[in-house]
Amino acid sequence: MVVTGERRLEIVAGLEAARRRISAAESAAGREPGGVELVVVTKTHPADEVAVLADLGVQHVGENRDQEASAKAEQLAGRSLVWHFIGQLQSNKVRSVVRYADVVESVDRPKLVAALSKAALSVRPDHPVRCLVQVCLDDQPGRGGALPDDVPAMADQIAAAPGLELDGVMAVAPLGADPDEAFARLRVVAETVGAAHPGATTVSAGMSGDLEAAVRHGATQVRLGSVVLGYRPPFG
Ligand SMILES: *Cc1c(COP(=O)(O)O)cnc(C)c1O
């Protein structure tokens, strides 16, 4: 699918809007400019639009479905993009995901750590897979994420796992919850993990609707989809 000139301009404007909101949020929070990294969430959007983003200087892209992500990553293999896997991950998809994902943000159970470690060692022994522990902020782990009490042990497990590198934590604010409360809770968990693992400094939090709250509470990375790329058809 070719990206029309009009669509290209929309993407340029969306990216500018996202970057402006991030810098405004940094400055409102009294944080250093440029301290928050942008991951553009490209799920459901075609690889040609990801190529446009890459042309515009985007480095980090996020995807949540293996089948879609692996196809796009293959199509864009010549680009220097950093692929973040941000979706719920089944153990049987792990071998595929570690072929293209530089960062897996949704690590939320011990079995998955073991599977990722084994796959990383076999598929890419020289390049560790960077992992974030996904933290569940509403005590309903069914929707992804480890309960805050279980996070430190999982962080230890990742840090000790060959083929993996512990980068930090990730969370999605629960639907309908106060994002400030949710991200304040995440910050406590992130500090606990960071105290035990000084290299694990990434706090991935904040989406199009709540990035300002996330930046107020210490996010080092935001994952933005709709603000950059616009309407996203719901999954069938
Ligand atoms: C889709 C998605 C996003 C981006 O959401 P927007 O509201 O479009 O910015 C961020 N994080 C995760 C985990 C997602 O699934």
Q: For residue 61, report the distance from its CA to the centre of ligand 1, in Å.
A: 11
Q: Does this model's pTM top 0.95? A: yes
Q: Residue 236 above 60 pLDDT?
A: no
- Ligand 1 center–CA 224 separation, angstroms: 6
Closest CA to 66 of 88, 82, 36, 40: 88
Query: pLDDT digits over 177-205, tens only?
Result: 999 999 999 999 999 999 999 999 999 99
pLDDT digits (tens, 9 = 90+) for 109-165: 999 999 999 999 999 999 999 999 999 999 777 779 999 999 999 999 999 999 999
Measured at the CA of 100, the angle between CA 144 and CA 200, to 5 degrees, comes to 55
- Residue 62 Cα to ligand 1 midpoint, Å, equals 9
Ligand 1 contact via 41 beta carbon (within 6 Å) = yes
pLDDT tens digits for range 3-25? 999 999 999 999 999 999 999 99
Regarding the beta carbon of 86 and ligand 1, being less than 6 Å apart is answered yes
